[in-house]
Amino acid sequence: MAYKSLLTICSDPLRAPQTFAAAASLAISQDGHLDALALGVDRSQIGYSYVGASAVILQVAQERATEDVKAVEAGIRSGVEAAGPSLRWSSEGAVAMMGALSDLVALRARFADLVVLAKPYGEKHGDEEEAIVEAAMFEGQAPVLVLPDTMADAGTIGKRIVIAWNQSREAMNAIRHALPFLKRADHVWITIIDPPKHGAERSDPGGALCQMLVRHGVKAEVTVLARTMPRVSDVLVRHIRDVDADMLVMGAYGHSRFREAILGGATRNMLENAEVAVFMTH
């Protein structure tokens, strides 16, 4: 069991070579095919320009987006050369306005077994990067692997995996999609933070999930942690460091996206602070 159709979407010319190289190494390790989308984003807001300027602004924005596509494509080509002849790949370039970004990403993501993306939050990261992650998960209904900025080789990740288990359907969906990684891992920690005293799993938190995974050959164990820090994401980050894990599997956006955007939430906090690869589905 492996991911045979992988997709990566690169919109930042500066980070494109690293993002593509990481996705390429993962595709090779999975004996899969990597599709790459070099994306240029038209950030023009025609509705807010003065009368008569719309055409000029649109042309300039289109030219900049086209230049970004060419720069990203150059980064992809350099990544292909570095990966060598064992990489099976294809690529295409596209320009999209922010309003049409979701449809474009969803169309590509829904036919991928796994979408590999760069971390969407950080200094000088564009707003479109968060939109790409959300479009792949929500509209594309695809599992997403988000890589930290420092990772250039994803072919060896997934040896030590932490699962964030909160009994939600989002978490269960992520675990099912992550089985190819989980079955190959040397160790998996099913991590539960402050399990509810009157919940369905109150007598054996994580026990049923652990049993299911072990039957698949996963080397899993249950870890129950107290919420000793203000945010659940902070406890998870500390636990990941303590066990020296290289991947986190979690469900994404348990609340509405509007509430997550206003209040933050575990999904956004993890993507901002995680130093390891984060595997997510909704």
Whether 16 and 141 map to the same domain: the answer is: yes
Is 135 in the same domain as 112?
Answer: yes
Where residue 110 falls among pLDDT bands split at 50, 70, 90? Answer: very high
Taking alpha carbons only, the member of 3, 10, 208 closest to residue 113 is 3
Last residue of a domain, one of 81, 112, 147: 147
CATH of residue 95: 3.40.50.620
Note whether 143 and 164 are same-domain residues: no
137 with 167, same domain? no
Residue 100 lies in a domain: yes
Q: Is 23 in the same domain as 143?
A: yes
Q: Quick check: is 99 in a domain?
A: yes
* Residue 22 and residue 143 in one domain: yes
Residue 262 reports pLDDT greater than 50: no
More reliable by pLDDT, 239 or 202: 239
Beta partners for residue 251, in sequence order: 281
pLDDT tops 70 at residue 255: no
**Which has the closest alpha carbon to 40: 120, 95, 106, 102?**
95
Question: In total, how many domains does the chain have?
Answer: 2
Retrieve residue 5's tokens.
């159709």
pLDDT tens digits for range 196-219:
776 777 778 999 999 999 999 999
Asked if residue 220 lies in contact with residue 190, where contact means CB atoms within 8 angstroms, the answer is yes
Q: Which residue has the higher pLDDT, 63 or 20?
A: 20
Is 154 among the domain residues? no
Q: Is residue 169 in some structural domain?
A: yes
**What is the per-residue pLDDT across 75-99, written as a single tens digit (0 to 9) for each?**
999 999 999 999 999 999 999 988 8
Residue 127 within any structural domain of the chain: yes
The DSSP line for 4-65 is -EEEEEE--TTTHHHHHHHHHHHHHHTT-EEEEEEEEEE---GGGSPTT-HHHHHHHHHHHH
Residues 240 and 133 in one domain: no
Classify residue 240: in a domain, yes or no.
Answer: yes
Which tens digit of pLDDT belongs to each residue from 1-60?
789 999 999 999 999 999 999 999 999 999 999 999 999 998 775 555 555 556 666 777
Query: pLDDT band at residue 259, thresholds of 50, 70 and 90?
Result: very low
Question: 98, 116, 147: which is the final residue of a domain?
Answer: 147
Same domain, 21 and 133: yes
DSSP assignment of 243-279 equals HT-SEEEEE--SS-HHHHHHH--HHHHHHHH-SSEEE
Contact 278, 146 (CB under 8 A): yes
SS3 content of the chain, % helix, strand, coil (to 5): 45, 20, 35
For the chain, what is the mean pLDDT? 89
Residues 34 and 166 in one domain: no
pLDDT band of residue 172 (cuts 50, 70, 90) is very high
Q: Which domain holds residue 208?
A: 160-281
Q: Does residue 153 belong to any structural domain of this protein? A: no
CA torsion 52→55→59→61, rounded to 10°?
70
Q: What is the pLDDT of residue 165?
A: 95
CB 236 within 8 A of CB 270: yes
| Chain-centre distance for alpha carbon 214 | 26
Can you give the pLDDT at residue 263? 39
**Listed residues 114, 147, 180: the one ending a domain:** 147
Q: Is residue 52 part of a domain?
A: yes
81 and 25 within one domain: yes
Instruction: Report the alpha-carbon distance of residue 142 to residue 168 in Å, rounded.
Output: 18
Mean pLDDT of 150-164: 91
Do 193 and 233 lie in one domain? The reply is: yes
166 and 216 part of one domain: yes
Least trusted range by pLDDT, from 154-163, 192-201, 245-254: 192-201
